A and B are shown apart, each in its own frame.
Chain A
Amino acid sequence: MTEKVRIGDDALMFSETLLLFLIKQFNGERTLSGIYHLLKGKKSSQSIQDSFLFRVEPFYHLCDDLERQSFQKLIEHLGDHEWIKYVNSEQTRVILTEKGMDKLSMFKIERMIPDGLRITNYVTTEKQFWLRLQLLIQTLSALRYQQTAFLPITKFPAVTEAVRRIIMESSLSRNQLVHQFYQEIRRLLTSIPILEANIFASQFSGYHMTGLTLRQISDESGKDLFECRTFFKAALRRIMQELSKNKSRYPFTALLMSPGVSGLSTTAGVSLRFLKSGLSAQEAAHRRNLSIGTIEDHLVEIALKDPTFDLSEYLTDELEHRIMDHANRLNTRQLKTIKKALQEGVSYFQIRLALAKNTVR
């Protein structure tokens, strides 16, 4: 039994460190849900903005498969070791204890995180891309083995349609197509660290060989699940970057990338087009049949990801300075605290916008 505990502890090292690091960065200014949403990659501008504010961009959307319950268990685990403590009576916000600080300082998070994870330009489309890639591989394997029927690993219509189109529209013969794709994937996997490539490819499915889940990879390899997720996402992001930089080297695989990736979510991208055409936020909301709040969310996202867009209509320089002065003086990123300190007439939206603009700089 003692042995089992030891294995368990070792295996948790990565996730402990990662969580402690995130808690340190958030510094009790958001609830634990904020951290959970960051890891899940929640598509709200709050989560996106938090990732910039607290300098944790690489971890946004790190584990889209994370269950609330497992996250909760990990937090309890940290609590049991007295590495963290609650700072509010509702027990929703936590900070590190001295002991937690010590624990965290034993590890260099920078060294634990592969470079690939820091590539965040494609994060809004990475899930879509990954599903398409897996389905395409499975389909081509079936073609190669002349399998007449198989159970696709996903039935998500947007994914199946995209893969179908890519195969149907190719001018190559089926056989050539498979070979071409094999070579491209080979080239891509050769270009990334071997450990990442192995974790990445273990998830591929083909003819009578179904890919593993990350949880299985973790179980089989004895690596921490969060570590596996990290290596997987690093690989995925490196590959998407390589595809987007060197399209001509991967003519077939590059088709899996969504066109016009700017790091903006699709819906924010649409709003941006409307706004650039001269509509006001109110008019854009009306035209898109969305609430003004949603358009404001998009504006915050735009502030984070497209610094060239002029936002003076919503936030004057003067107001921006005033907000940032207060935020810096109070040393907080909590909207409520900042709003209280400012006089009337400043909206949460404007505070968020100011914070967003100033995290990018």
Chain B
Amino acid sequence: MGSLNNLREEDLLREAKIILKEKFGYHQFRSGQQKIIQDVLNGRDVFAMMPTGSGKSLCYQIPGYLLNGTVLIVSPLLSLMEDQINALRAAGERHARALNGMMHAQERIRVLRHLEELRFLYISPEMLCRSDIREALAKITISLFVVDEAHCVSQWGHEFRPDYLQLARIREQLGHPACLAVTATADERVREDIIRSLELHEVAQTIMSVDRTNIALVVRNVSNDDEKMEQLCKLLRTTRLPGIVYCASRDWTERLAELVRRQLGLRAAFYHGGMESIDRRKIQNQFLDNQLDLLCCTNAFGMGINKPDIRLVVHFHFPATMNAYLQEIGRASRDGQQGLAVLYYSPQDNQYPEGFIDSNFPEDAFLLHTLHELDEGVLTIKNKDQFLNDLQERGSSETAARFIYERIREKPAYQSFHSIFKRSKSMIEQRRRVLLNDLSIMKNYLTATECRRAYYLKVYHEDSHEKPVYCCDQCGINLADFDSVNFEDTVINRKQLMSWEERLSYIFKESERSKQ
């Protein structure tokens, strides 16, 4: 960092802009990016809240080219790591790698051997907690310690990760590099938690609005599923695509994909967690490669997906929290063009999120029975996976099994299993209350008579600012404005099925070889 002190701030900024253009192909910073990058380059601890799709990765990638050493990015999402490294490599960066539990040991060794040469290292929190890895990291210069999805450090956040509590200590061991903590959504309570837990000093904060002004918001009330499907087809017949349709169940993703393919002839596919991983990957890549117009999926789709030209996000069923909703519609039009989010709401849909909340926790009787069996020695814990498996075979959901496992892990050795029942129960009640509260906020959004945007900004304690031209159904919107005929998209409509010879010759670029 020493060499940087000689450069004045404007010089640094100029450098940063050159990199922005040459490496990443952008002509100017998007709002928020410049201040964050400046603070990072000045060696400050930074907390940044940026909504999904506002370009947070650039905030540490650009400093990576100006600081000496390696930028270490802690991220809990494997798919996100992979996507980012892929994007960096596509931009010509060869010194970006990941360390996570899914890798082959051989690959891990290769990464560790070349640590010094790395400009960017993405690492999962579990890996960072391993002492051999920390020792290797202590030998190199870490220029910046980035904590992605920083809300995971807070018990108040929606995805608490105990590993994240170690991060402050680990950062100390790595020579106390400057820290950049980023998240897409965090209310005040979570923000305070992040700053305290990560021990950020004199922190420079950039809190950006959660508002994505280029996404128009529409809620449509319907009376039943048939009407919903009818309206969906009508919408898809003319509206600009590609698009995503979020559904609450696997079954629905398959049904809708089939419906849309048959009725509209669109290239539609489904995506959900029950598929083989290779099939999931193929569908995802097809979507990225514009081989599909529409993807019908559960919320399993989207993490770490970077497709800037998704124009439409439909919710066939509404999600359980406003957070999840903003996250999901935030996948529309990341390139800044106009996007559209449509949510269909029929009264029967209430069952889905409520069922989802219930499935998070074990029922009293089940919990009691499990603890009893543990005390009796009928059920044993050899390791985590086996235990989770056993519980699921007894009919528990995966999340409920995890919940029980966490409670048992906290139990002091001398106490009986039964002794944790009461505490667990009150914890369930407390968490359920939080989730139900989140749900009611989401539901109120659906029935609100005020501007949709104003409503969710209020949820995040933000003031409404200038309304975009295409705001929401309450403010008045004409869906025909989103018809594909209004846009000059070039659609490459490649057929999916072809003869093996045709396919092979394309894949290996053989037709051109004969011309060479």
Contact partner of B286 (CB less than 8 A), chosen from A137, A181, A210, is A210
Closest to B85 in A: A149
When distances are taken between beta carbons in the complex, the residues of chain B under 8 Å from A204 are 503-504, 507
Contact partner of B102 (CB less than 8 A), chosen from A155, A178, A210, A217, is A155
A154 CA to B102 CA, complexed, in Å: 12
Mark interface residues in B63-90 (1 if CB within 8 Å of A CB, else 0).
0000000000000000000110111111
A157 CA to B509 CA, complexed, in Å: 28
A225 on the B face (CB < 8 A): no
Contact A154 B504 (CB under 8 A): no
A209 CA to B289 CA, complexed, in Å: 7
B261 on the A face (CB < 8 A): yes
Known: A151-B284, A151-B285. 6 other contacts (CB 8 A): A65-B275, A150-B86, A153-B285, A155-B82, A209-B506, A213-B282
A150 CA to B501 CA, complexed, in Å: 23
The answer to whether A151 and B281 touch (CB under 8 A), given A182-B510, A204-B503, A210-B291, is: yes
Contact B87 A149 (CB under 8 A): yes
Q: Which of A79-87, A115-123, A138-146, A267-275 contacts B (4 or more CB under 8 A)?
A: A138-146
Contact A157 B281 (CB under 8 A): no
Mark interface residues in B493-516 (1 if CB within 8 Å of A CB, else 0).
010111111011011111001000
Interface residues of B in 284-316 (CB under 8 A from A): 284-286, 288-289, 291
Size class of the contact patch on chain A: 35 or more
Closest to B505 in A: A182
Contact partner of B283 (CB less than 8 A), chosen from A65, A208, A213, A221, is A213
When distances are taken between beta carbons in the complex, the residues of chain B under 8 Å from A141 are 507-509
A182 CA to B507 CA, complexed, in Å: 9
Q: Is the interface of B mostly helix, strand, loop or mixed?
A: helix
A230 CA to B92 CA, complexed, in Å: 43
Interface residues of B in 255-287 (CB under 8 A from A): 258, 261, 269, 274-279, 281-286
Q: Which of B2-10, B103-111, B122-130 contacts A (4 or more CB under 8 A)?
A: B103-111
Contact B499 A198 (CB under 8 A): yes
User: Taking the nearest CB of chain A, how far is it from the CB of B189, in angstroms?
Assistant: 37
Contact A189 B500 (CB under 8 A): yes
Mark interface residues in A130-169 (1 if CB within 8 Å of B CB, else 0).
0100100100110011001111111101101100000000
A178 CA to B504 CA, complexed, in Å: 12
Contact A201 B500 (CB under 8 A): yes
Closest to B110 in A: A164
A231 CA to B54 CA, complexed, in Å: 47
Contact A158 B104 (CB under 8 A): yes
User: Taking the nearest CB of chain A, how far is it from the CB of B262, in angstroms?
Assistant: 8
Contact B90 A148 (CB under 8 A): yes
When distances are taken between beta carbons in the complex, the residues of chain A under 8 Å from B261 are 219
A310 CA to B130 CA, complexed, in Å: 48
7 A-B pairs with CB atoms under 8 Å apart are A149-B88, A151-B82, A161-B107, A185-B504, A202-B503, A212-B286, A217-B497
Count residues of B near A (Cβ-Cβ below 8 Å). Answer: 48
User: Taking the nearest CB of chain B, how far is it from the CB of A231, in angstroms?
Assistant: 12
Contact A198 B291 (CB under 8 A): no
User: Taking the nearest CB of chain A, how far is it from the CB of B208, in angstroms?
Assistant: 29
User: Taking the nearest CB of chain B, how far is it from the CB of A146, in angstroms?
Assistant: 10
User: Taking the nearest CB of chain A, how far is it from the CB of B142, in angstroms?
Assistant: 25
Interface residues of B in 90-138 (CB under 8 A from A): 90, 92, 102-107
User: Taking the nearest CB of chain A, how far is it from the CB of B514, in angstroms?
Assistant: 11
The answer to whether A157 and B282 touch (CB under 8 A), given A178-B508, A185-B504, A206-B506, is: no
A252 on the B face (CB < 8 A): no
A349 on the B face (CB < 8 A): no
A198 CA to B503 CA, complexed, in Å: 9
Contact B279 A213 (CB under 8 A): yes
Contact partner of A160 (CB less than 8 A), chosen from B104, B258, B275, B501, is B104
Contact B508 A144 (CB under 8 A): yes
Contact B90 A198 (CB under 8 A): no
Closest to A181 in B: B508
A144 CA to B516 CA, complexed, in Å: 14
| Max count, chain A CB within 10 A of own CB: residue among B106, B278, B494 | B278
| Max count, chain B CB within 10 A of own CB: residue among A69, A140, A150, A153 | A153
Closest to B498 in A: A202
A240 on the B face (CB < 8 A): no
A205 on the B face (CB < 8 A): yes
